[in-house]
Amino acid sequence: MDRAHEGNATREASRRAGLVPVVPPKANRRDPWEHDKQLYKRRNEVERVFRRIKHYRKVFTRYDKLDVTYLAVVMLAFVAIHLK
C-alpha cells in the first residue's frame, strides 16, 4: 500500500486479510498512527524489481496459459537481469 490507499477502510480490510499495513499516514491526517519506517523504505526495492521485469514483454503481457510456464518466463527474466 502507499499513501493513496491509506484510508481507514483499506487499512481495516488489509488487517482482516491477515496483512499488516505499513503505510505512513498523510501529512494532513488528524489522528496519525505509527508505522515501521524501515520496512516502508524497503517497499521501493520491490517496486524496482517489478519495473525491471516488466521490460520483458512476455512477462508484462502474459501470453502463457499455465502458471508454471509463466513462472519459468519470470525466472528467465530474473536471470537475464542478473547477468547484465
Q: Rounded to an integer, what distance in angstroms lies between the CA atom of residue 13 and that of residue 15? A: 5
pLDDT score of 23: 79
Provide the whole-model pTM: 0.55
DSSP per-residue codes, 58-83: HHHH---SSHHHHHHHHHHHHHHHHH
pLDDT score of 60: 80
Residue in the block written with cell 508484462: 60
pLDDT in tens, 32-83: 778 788 888 888 888 888 888 888 888 888 777 888 988 998 999 999 989 9
Distances (CA, A) of 46 to 12, 39, 41, 49, 76: 23, 11, 10, 5, 18
Residue in the block written with cell 547477468: 83
